[in-house]
Amino acid sequence: MGLTQELLNWTYEQRCQKAVESLKKNGFTAVYCKTRKEALDYIANEAKEATTVGIGGSMTMAELKVADMLTEMGKEILNHNAPNLSPEERMAVRRRQLTCDLFLCSTNALTLTGSLVNVDGSGNRAAAMFFGPRKVIIVAGRNKIVGTVEEGLKRIKDYAAPTNARRLNLPTPCAQTGFCMDCDSPNRICRITTILEKKPMTTDIHVLVVNEDLGF
- How far are the Cα atoms of 6, 33, 73, 74, 106 from residue 101, in angstroms, in the given order? 39, 23, 15, 14, 17
Rounded CA-CA distance 93/80 in Å is 5
Specify the CATH number for the domain of residue 88: 3.40.50.10420
Q: How many domains does the chain have?
A: 1
- Dump pLDDT digits (tens) for 174-201: 999 999 999 999 999 999 999 999 999 9
Rounded CA-CA distance 2/176 in Å is 37
Residue 42 lies in a domain: yes
Residue 16 lies in a domain: yes
Computed from CA positions of residues 78, 51, 215, 83, in that sequence, does the dihedral angle turn out positive or negative? negative
Cβ pair 77, 100 in contact under 8 A: no
Residue 66 lies in a domain: yes
Residue 140 lies in a domain: yes
Position 57 scores a pLDDT of: 87
Position 92 scores a pLDDT of: 97
Cβ pair 152, 173 in contact under 8 A: no
Residue 151 has pLDDT above 80, yes or no: yes
User: Which pairing describes strands 192-196 and 109-111: parallel, antiparallel, or unpaired?
Assistant: unpaired
Residue 216 lies in a domain: no
Question: For every residue of 60-116, which 3-state class applies, written as one string?
Answer: HHHHHCHHHHHHHCCCEEEECCCCCCCHHHHHHHHHHHCCCCEEEEECCEEECCCCE
Residue 206 lies in a domain: yes
Residue 206 has pLDDT above 90, yes or no: yes
> Order of strands across the sheet with 52-55?
29-33, 204-210, 135-141, 102-106, 52-55, 76-79
Task: Give pTM, 2 decimals.
Answer: 0.95
Residue 115 lies in a domain: yes
Position 2 scores a pLDDT of: 87
Residue 1 has pLDDT above 80, yes or no: no
Residue 215 lies in a domain: no
What is the arithmetic mean of pLDDT over 132-154?
98
Rounded CA-CA distance 136/103 in Å is 5
Position 20 scores a pLDDT of: 98
Look up the domain containing 24 and give its range.
3-210
- Dump pLDDT digits (tens) for 93-132: 999 999 999 999 999 999 999 999 999 999 999 999 999 9
Residue 15 has pLDDT above 90, yes or no: yes
